[in-house]
């Protein structure tokens, strides 16, 4: 290894550590309601302490750290610590404080914290060849996963993704039926039910905690939608459906082929399955870009161990490539697998049809 390469790697690892620590700062800001307090306007240490109900010394250190990181601005850096006023800039409100903004990425902090809490179990799984059940990553990870997808599932799903399916999705406006497999916290299911009030919409997930959260979110939203803690194999008894969603969930499933077989059986003759999964590279290449690096990071620490917790397991991991999706769809009996011409951000969108 050349000195230049070694120095570059050193710098990169220091930057990664700094980024991780800044994510912890974001986690504290979310968990303690500090960003919400700053949405009310600029604040001094004492004002933030009083509004958020935290100790003044911690308020000072957090505000200073956030300003040093460039997340907050400060009116007068030369003023005494207690006299400085800190502001959450308008340009940063979406990323840090607006749960439905398309640039809302603060929940990444919850994902990292949740993985950290389960990392010793991941170590054991590597040694034994076993896995780490999804529930063991805890409520923090679960809420982060739901929150990071909420912006796209709330807007892009109903405004762009579903319309790209054509007739199958159009039937939702006139009393059609939709099932959301692996619905998680239910933001996608709720968004569909709100946009298509005449449709029959059901969300299913095998995780009891997710279903409980989804039901609570639906009640708060005043939306009439069914959530069931169930396996996809039970879906056929409730069919046929015009549209079935599998959004950022297929790669996490221990038996994705069986899930697609169940979806195929529950689908109406002119229906479609909308799969949204990671927009990774077509094939394995090194070095990878930032997206590829991030997806492998999730895979080694969460997605693969969670899938390995159930045996037998396809053990796909986060990096599910287009070729794998096509193979699974063909094996499940789908005649057509199309990549939709829609910008899915982190996701590539597939339409599976009988």
pLDDT, residue 318, reads 98
Closest listed residue to residue 252, CA positions, set 310, 197, 187, 208: 310
How far is CA 70 from each of CA 58, 64, 87, 99, 159, rounded to the nearest angstrom? 18, 10, 11, 20, 33
Q: What is the pLDDT of residue 5?
A: 56
**Is pLDDT above 70 for 3?**
no
pLDDT single digits (tens) 36-45: 999 999 999 9
Provide the β-strand partners of residue 205.
229
| Residue 235 DSSP code | G
Rounded mean pLDDT of the chain? 95
| Cβ(209)–Cβ(142) below 8 Å | yes
Fold of 3-97: Arc Repressor Mutant, subunit A (1.10.10)
The Cα 260–Cα 245 span in angstroms is 11
- Give mean pLDDT, residues 17-31: 98
Q: What percent of the chain has pLDDT over 70?
A: 98
Average confidence (pLDDT) over 324-346: 96
pTM of the model: 0.93
Q: Is 34 left (phi over 0), alpha (psi -120 to 50) or beta?
A: alpha
The residue extents of the domains of the chain are 3-97, 108-353
According to DSSP, the β-strands at 200-205 and 177-181 are parallel
Q: How much is the pLDDT for 239?
A: 84
What's the fold here for domain 108-353? Answer: Rossmann fold (3.40.50)
pLDDT at 1 over 50: no
Per-residue pLDDT tens digits for 259-318: 999 999 999 999 999 999 999 999 999 999 999 999 999 999 999 999 999 999 999 999
Q: What is the sign of the dihedral through the CA atoms of 260, 181, 262 and 274?
A: negative
**Whole-angstrom distance, CA of residue 280 vs CA of residue 277:** 9
Distance CA 68, CA 62 (A): 10
Among 173, 332, 310, 304, residue whose Cα is nearest residue 246 = 332
Q: What is the pLDDT of residues 211-255, one digit of tens each?
A: 999 999 999 999 989 999 999 988 888 889 999 999 999 999 999
Reported residue count of the chain is 354
Task: Look at residue 4 in the predicted model and tell me its pLDDT.
Answer: 46
- Give the C-alpha separation, 300 to 137, whole Å: 14
280 prior amide bond cis, ω within 30:
no
Q: Looking at the predicted structure, is the pLDDT value of residue 130 above 80?
A: yes
For residues 97 and 106, is the Cβ–Cβ distance under 8 A?
yes
CA pair distance 191, 92, nearest whole angstrom: 25
Q: Strands 241-247 and 267-278, how do they pair?
A: parallel
123, two tokens: 């170590």
State which H helix or E strand residue 277 sits in.
strand 267-278
């Amino acid at each position: 290894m050349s000195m230049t390469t070694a120095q570059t790697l050193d710098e990169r690892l220091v930057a990664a550590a700094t980024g991780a620590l800044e994510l912890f700062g974001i986690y504290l800001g979310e968990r303690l309601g500090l960003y919400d307090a700053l949405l009310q306007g600029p604040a001094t240490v004492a004002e933030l302490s009083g509004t958020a109900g935290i100790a003044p010394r911690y308020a000072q250190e957090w505000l200073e750290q956030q300003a040093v990181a460039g997340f907050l601005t400060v009116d007068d850096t030369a003023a005494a610590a207690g006299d400085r006023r800190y502001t959450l800039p308008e340009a940063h409100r979406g990323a840090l404080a607006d749960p439905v903004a398309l640039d809302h990425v603060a929940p990444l902090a919850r994902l990292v914290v949740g993985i950290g809490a389960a990392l010793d179990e991941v170590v054991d799984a590597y040694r034994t060849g076993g896995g780490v059940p999804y529930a063991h990553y805890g409520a923090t990870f679960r809420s982060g996963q739901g929150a990071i997808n909420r912006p796209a599932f709330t807007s892009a799903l109903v405004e762009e993704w579903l319309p790209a399916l054509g007739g199958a999705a159009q039937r939702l406006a006139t009393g059609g039926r939709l099932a959301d497999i692996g619905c998680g916290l239910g933001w996608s299911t709720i968004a569909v039910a709100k946009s298509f009030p005449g449709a029959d919409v059901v969300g299913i997930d095998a995780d009891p905690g997710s279903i409980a959260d989804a039901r609570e979110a639906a009640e708060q939203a005043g939306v009439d939608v069914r959530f069931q803690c169930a396996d996809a194999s039970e879906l056929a008894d409730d069919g046929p459906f015009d549209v079935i969603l599998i959004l950022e969930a297929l790669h996490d499933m221990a038996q994705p082929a069986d899930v697609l077989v169940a979806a195929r059986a529950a689908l109406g003759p002119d229906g479609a399955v909308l799969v949204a999964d990671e927009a990774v590279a077509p094939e394995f290449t090194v070095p990878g870009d930032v997206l590829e690096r991030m997806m492998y990071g999730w895979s080694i620490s969460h997605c693969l161990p969670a899938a390995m917790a159930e045996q037998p397991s396809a053990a796909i991991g986060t990096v599910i490539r287009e070729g794998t999706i096509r193979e699974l769809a063909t094996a499940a009996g789908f005649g057509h697998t199309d990549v939709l011409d829609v910008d899915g951000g982190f996701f590539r969108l597939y339409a599976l049809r009988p």
